[in-house]
Amino acid sequence: MATFLYRLGRFSFRKRHVVALFWVALLALAGAGAAGAPAAGNSSFSIPGTEAQKAFDLLDDRFPGTSADGATARVVFKAPDGRKMTDPGNKAAVQETVDELSGGAEVARVTDPFQGGGVSQDGSIAYASVTYKVPGMELEESSREALKAAAEDARDSGLTVEIGGDALQAVPETGSAEIIGIGVAAVVLVITLGSLLAAGLPLLTAIVGVGIGVATITALASTLDLGSTTSILASMIGLAVGIDYALFVVSRYRAELAEGREREEAAGRAVGTAGSAVVFAGLTVVIALVGLSVVNIPMLTKMGIAAAGTVAVAVLIALTLIPAVLGYAGRRVRPAGEKSKLLGGGRAKNTADRPNMGTRWASFVVRRPLAVLLLGVVGLGAAAVPAGSLELGLPDDGSQPTSTTQRRAYDLLSEGFGPGFNGPLVVVVDAEGSDDPQAVFQQAGDEIKALDNVVNVAPAAPNKAGDTATIAVIPDAKPSSAATEDLVHDIRAAGAGIKDGTGADVLVTGATAMNIDVSQKLNDALVPYLVLVVGLAFLLLIVVFRSILVPLKAALGFLLSVLAALGAVVAVYQWGWLSGLMGVEETGPIMSMMPIFMVGVVFGLAMDYEVFLVTRIREAHVHGEKPAQAVVTGFRYSARVVTAAAVIMIAVFSGFIGSSDSMVKMIGFGLAIAVLFDAFVVRMALVPAVLALLGAKAWWLPKWLDRALPNVDVEGESLAVHDSADKDDEDKELVRA
């Protein structure tokens, strides 16, 4: 592989006009497709194999035209103190609002609170339910504006009016913090590479890669039913890995220049060595992201595949566009150890005999490996303690900031009708094969009423055929509580008894039941997913490092970092530690998909640093250095760049903490803190400590396995036998191929 990539790097350097034109044309093509494509909506949220989804599908079949998947809004009214909603003036204002909302082109129906039981027992609060014909993210902006205008008109009459539901759901915004993250990355690149031009190359190529990836996702969003958060995730991961991969190639290029090689030769060797590490690092990320499909949640699968595609583009750009751009830069990209004149350089640094920070740190760890290992493990273990209190759920209006109308509507409904009113359960009774469906409906309602934690059970509402009915159940506790989850399980247990006696199916659905089923499905999939992803990456790393213990150490270190990161997420978003600093206005359960998502993404990113760092160490070991000295040599050449890459990735991920979407905000924080733990504790401290303790045993591999494995030559050992006479012929062969 190193030989092929070496040729590719030299070819891209020499034929830079062709390579640059290809990527520019690809960017223009993707941009044109995105410009002409419909706007991304909200990906249809289906959870195959769950009872809630089965009931939802049954509703669509047996109750046609009810817009079961349509957006909903609850317009909540509260009378001034001392007055009631049933007062003539207040009643008239509500009626005007209902009439105004009913005229909307996308409105399916509006319920009158005075006819549908939508007035609280004390008469101070009422609500009108609005159902739309299309999902929330597909609503026209005019429909949202009409909803807000109707509420504002009602406020003019002296009522307090708030709006809940998903009708006001909008495409999340990441905010200016993302730009700050890119700015921090730029500063780190300048410091690391000592040149504004050299620092600009990784940023430029990463932006091109993300542009191609996001534009392609936008162009295909309508066709493939991709949600708006899909492109945000792809840009988050694509930008981070794109900068890092380019940084490693540019840094190796400057190191090759410092050894006196010509620029084209340096570009070839940079791609042949650092590029090999980029390929395998990228493969681990792709495996982790594509592996999310085993969870069998379509939305998560699409997010993972889209992000994996963006990572693949970042790898290809690092291998081709980076050497091409280096060809354009020429002598303005200086050898390692030199700074540009603008930064006070122009002359070689006279520090050849002084060990750099990476060398000094590695020497310290090699002298005291056991102490460093114990300190690191204990520290990560302490950070992971809050993960033991992890509570999973999906965000609802109750997790919104108190400044939003959705949260205020949620609180008003809780005040007037009880906390469980915000999470009603929908029980679907399928009595198609029963002799007396009406008796089955009555039996189901009576058994549900007898359960604990039930406030109200509405009469069964049958369909036109009379063979299926819905029963609305109001729990006693809020939607995200354990009591409500227990109630869902109790209803399903009672339904199993009804099925045994009558043959009728009793299914529980609704947003609350769907959230419970999603959490359970994700929990059940976590271990198989972990085995699949870690197993595949373990095999890949065996091929890369030709060792059993090094990949095993990498996997165990990852588990430590991801547990510590989950602990930090729980501490901030569930316990409220540093919530003000992180912009968390409301604490609550952790998003259900967070653990499995972090396992996938963090594993891929963790293996990035493992490959880049340990490849340099193994390269030194392969060339004859003793194990301890190889660790020091590896850190001498790679610690500075790995540190810079980690800081860049942390800065990029942290930028998404400013997003308006709670899921994106939590993902940004989780990935940033995970990279912090993994890069600076696991890879920079535990890895050299373990390698120092293992010594030569770290590189042990059974002879039979050594013979069976392909030699991918990540270290570029085969490049040492290349002579200049063969280079022109090799390039011509590549052109012909």
Residues forming a β-bridge with 425: 473
The pLDDT tens digits for 24-70 are: 999 999 888 888 776 555 455 567 778 888 888 888 888 876 655 67
State the sign of the Cα–Cα–Cα–Cα dihedral 104, 110, 115, 119.
negative
Task: Give dist(CA 535, CA 294) in Å, integer.
Answer: 14
Alpha helices by DSSP H, listed for 342-420, are 357-367, 369-384, 405-417
**Residue 166: φ, ψ to 5°:** -95, 5
The pLDDT tens digits for 199-219 are: 788 888 888 988 998 888 888
Those residues whose C-beta lies under 8 Å from the C-beta of residue 435, and which sit 6 or more positions away, are none
Read off the pLDDT band of 341 (50, 70, 90).
Answer: low
Q: How far is CA 268 from the centre of its chain?
A: 34
- The H or E element that residue 509 is part of is strand 505-509
Would you say 568 and 577 are in contact if contact means Cβ atoms under 8 Å apart? no
Q: Which residue has the higher pLDDT, 221 or 726?
A: 221
Residues forming a β-bridge with 581: none
pLDDT of the residue at 734: 54
Read off the pLDDT band of 372 (50, 70, 90).
Answer: very high
Residue (of 63, 39, 502) closest to 226 by Cα position: 39
Task: Give dist(CA 475, CA 488) in Å, integer.
Answer: 9
Task: Give dist(CA 252, CA 456) in Å, integer.
Answer: 68
The pLDDT tens digits for 298-327 are: 878 888 888 899 999 999 999 999 999 999
The pLDDT tens digits for 79-104 are: 998 899 989 999 999 999 999 998 88
Task: Give dist(CA 486, CA 288) in Å, integer.
Answer: 33
The pLDDT tens digits for 688-700 are: 999 999 988 988 8
Task: Give dist(CA 726, CA 720) in Å, integer.
Answer: 13
Residue (of 173, 223, 166, 227) closest to 514 by Cα position: 166
Give the global pTM. Answer: 0.77
**Residue carrying structure tokens 């005019």:** 142
Q: Which amino acid is at 580?
A: G
